[in-house]
Amino acid sequence: MLTTHHWYVIAFSALYLFVGGLYFARDFNLEFVIYVGVIVAIFAGVFATLRHTRFPVWMLWLLSVWGLMHVLGGLVETRDGVLFTYRIYPFFDGGGDFFILKYDQVVHFYLYGLVALMSYHALRVPLAVVGSTFLVALSAALISLGVSSLNEIMEFLIAVNLERHGVGGYHNAMLDLIFNGAGAAVAVVVYAVMEKQGGEVVRLP
């Protein structure tokens, strides 16, 4: 079932995951070794179910870009530490983790916007849900928020079990959830508008 375009996505993803996984393993960075393992598991699950989900290739590329953003977040050094902790611009600074805008927040916004898009697609295409655009969009956004809670649980478990980790505290977790929700909301609104204007975004290969 896999086309040449699918294999391009797989090859690109495998390359940076191998390089990143090797770097984190040599650096004894167990936190990011776990993250790489989770990303591999996610990609494997998505590609293994393509026959049923029928995610378009452009969504798979967006997923691969997220994986790259995550690997670079733990690999690239900045003045604030690794890229995940990089403070892009001080829209708000409440001290400590209570800071907007960081690279980590951009990644959260992007990822859960993408999860919302994939959920919207799954509802409309393989599950063939018809009817209210608002209800489908709301459902997709809530699915994305539910998935994002699993990520926060994983980060909590890492924080309580590993001495060396970059997981922040309460403010960081709450800001993550806010950016997760914002990304999901923006994504489903954009997707719904495109669908209303002709549905090309849904039918793209």
Q: What is the pLDDT along the chain (205 residues), one digit of tens a residue?
A: 799 999 999 999 999 999 999 999 998 888 888 889 999 999 999 999 999 999 999 999 999 999 999 999 989 999 988 899 999 999 999 988 889 999 999 999 999 999 999 999 999 999 999 888 899 999 999 999 999 988 888 778 877 776 665 556 777 888 999 999 999 999 999 988 888 776 545 554 4
Closest CA to 124 of 191, 42, 46, 57: 191
- Which two tokens mark 196? 């209303």
Q: What is the pLDDT of residue 197?
A: 78
Q: What is the pLDDT of residue 143?
A: 97
Q: Which amino acid is at 179?
A: F
Q: What is the pLDDT of residue 167?
A: 59
What is the model's pTM?
Answer: 0.90
Q: What is the pLDDT of residue 114?
A: 97
Contact 156, 31 (CB under 8 A): no
Q: What is the pLDDT of residue 146?
A: 94
Q: What is the pLDDT of residue 199?
A: 58
DSSP state of 156: H
Q: What is the pLDDT of residue 16?
A: 97
Distance CA 185, CA 202 (A): 18
Q: What is the pLDDT of residue 7?
A: 97
Burial of 137 (0-12, 13-18, 19+ CB in 10 A): buried
Q: Where are the domains of the chain?
A: 4-203
